Structure 1
Amino acid sequence: MPTSNKYCWVSLTIFLALFPLANSYARFTNIQCTALDKPFADFQKCRLSIPKRGEVALSIHAKLFQIPVNNVTVNVRVFKKASGYRPFLYNVSADFCAFMAHRSRYPFLKVFFAAIAKDSNINHTCPYNNDIIVENLVLRDGMFGHFPVPEGDYMYKLMFGVYNEWKADVKAFFSVKLDKKYL
């Protein structure tokens, strides 16, 4: 391996190892929910609220009209804002029912859904016989310690498919800032 590549890898490794030590905070900035098949499901609630100073909470209530649902596909993509939103690091698709039964097979989804699980009712395996609810999800300080991300604006795009057809698209926008007093 040429020495310039070696130094590049060493620098990157040191950056990724030290970055989680820097305190950061993240806040939701916007949410967009789109039902792609309204006879199947629709969003009764898709909004951000401010439960207390310095916190922004995300709430979603997706009403399912055709239950039970036992064949779910999820696609999670992360975008970073740089002259528009550009793909950043992750684009993961999975059979959601298989994922919920064997979470360790998809490490990124495991960490992502662990953050959502306590504030939602999607923390069980298929079938889903009720509405999908995420209530007052707040991005906590240090949540991105598992994924060292630079300061900036980001978007999570979640696509949900049922029976091999896309049914819903959720875009959650958030901002990650470094707390300068710890640097």
Structure 2
Amino acid sequence: MKNHILNLFLPILIILYGTDGKVFRVSKMECRSLDPSFTYFETCKLTRRENGRSSLYVNQVILYKDPINDIIFNLGGFKTVKNRRFQFLNETLDYCVLGQLLLANRYFRFLMTPLMRFSNINGTCPIQQHIIVNGFSVDENTVKEIPIPNGVYMFQLRTSLMKKWRTVIRVYATRVDKYSE
């Protein structure tokens, strides 16, 4: 039901407001472990480059020693207007069942296609290593296809490992026409 509402709402939003915004200016990133005995973040860093561009660095250490074959991702997108957040995206994906079809899901494709170039994530299950994202560039060449209008947004990626929510990563960004020159 939620997917049908989203599939209806997103095209209407695009028609009403257009997709003039071409880039995201990232202002903040937060990584939180919900179970530090299972996993923790060694690195969670945002570096700002020239003219508003930025890079994201994450090193998630997994303390669980056995292969993990139960992984659920939940991707949420929120538009911030004044002091309120309106959720426009709430997609959940079973990574181990649909990992190979990850790029078939249009919302995860926007996130995962550029992310896989900068990380050790390979789309297969089970995982046995730490998760490393080394310099995921947020610029006009990576996430420009996300069809949302200019504004302030928060993107949230929650991860469930072994049937329990373990991590939350939030990225706060502003959609703008272009980076400052």
TM-score by length of 1: 0.80
- When structure 1 is superposed on structure 2, of 117-126 and 50-59 the one drifting more is 50-59
* Displacement of 1:85: 4.8
The CA deviation string for residues 98-148 of structure 1, in whole angstroms up to 9 with x for no partner, is 221222552211222112110111123011111001111122216555332
Residues 34/104 of structure 1: CA separation in 2 closer, same or farther (3 Å cut): closer
Q: What residue number does 1:82 align with? A: 81
Cα distance in 1 for partners of 2:164, 2:13 equals 40
Cα displacement (A) at 1:82: 1.1
Moved more, 136-145 or 116-125: 136-145
Partners of 1:73 and 1:12 lie apart in 2 by 29
1:15 and 2:18 are equivalent in the alignment: no
Alignment match, 2:26: 28
Equivalent runs, 1:139-150 vs 2, <5 Å: 139-141=138-140, 143-150=142-149
CA 1:111 to 1:27, structure 2 compared with 1: closer, same or farther past 3 Å?
same
Contact in 2 for aligned 1:79/1:85 (Cα 8 Å) = no
Residue in structure 2 matched with residue 41 of structure 1 by the alignment = 39
Aligned pair in 2 of structure 1 residues 150, 70: CA closer, same or farther (>3 Å)? same
Question: How far apart are residue 36 of structure 1 and its match?
Answer: 0.5
Q: Distance in 2 between matches of 1:85 and 1:95?
A: 30
Distance 2:138 2:87 in 1: 19
Give, in whole Å, the separation in 2 of the partners of 1:140 and 1:92. Answer: 24
Over the matched positions of the two proteins, sequence identity in percent amounts to 23
Structure 2 equivalent of residue 8 of structure 1: none
Question: For residue 96 of structure 2, what is the amino acid of its counterpart?
Answer: C
RMSD (Å) for aligned C-alpha atoms: 2.7
For the 8 Å contact 2:157–2:168, the answer to whether it is kept is: yes
Letter aligned with residue 29 of structure 1: S
Q: Does 1:162 align with 2:161?
A: yes
Residues 85 and 155 in structure 1, CA contact (< 8 A), matched pair in contact too: no
Point out the structure with max Rg over C-alpha: 1
Determine the C-alpha separation between the residues in 1 that align with 2:147 and 2:104.
21
Q: Which residue of 1 aligns with 2:6?
A: none
Kindly tell me: are residues 85 and 77 of structure 1, through their superposed partners in 2, closer, same or farther at Cα, counting changes over 3 Å? Answer: farther
Worse overlay, 36-45 or 117-126: 117-126
TM-score, L = length of structure 2: 0.81
* Count of aligned positions: 169
Stretches of structure 1 that go unaligned for 5 or more consecutive residues are 1-10
Is 2:125 the counterpart of 1:133? no
Find the aligned partners of 1:133 and 1:84 in 2 and give their Cα distance: 33
Q: Secondary structure at the match of 1:101?
A: helix
Match of 1:64 in 2: 62
Checking the alignment, whether the CA contact within 8 Å between 1:85 and 1:154 is kept in structure 2 is: no
| TM-aligned CA deviation for residue 69 of structure 1 | 1.3
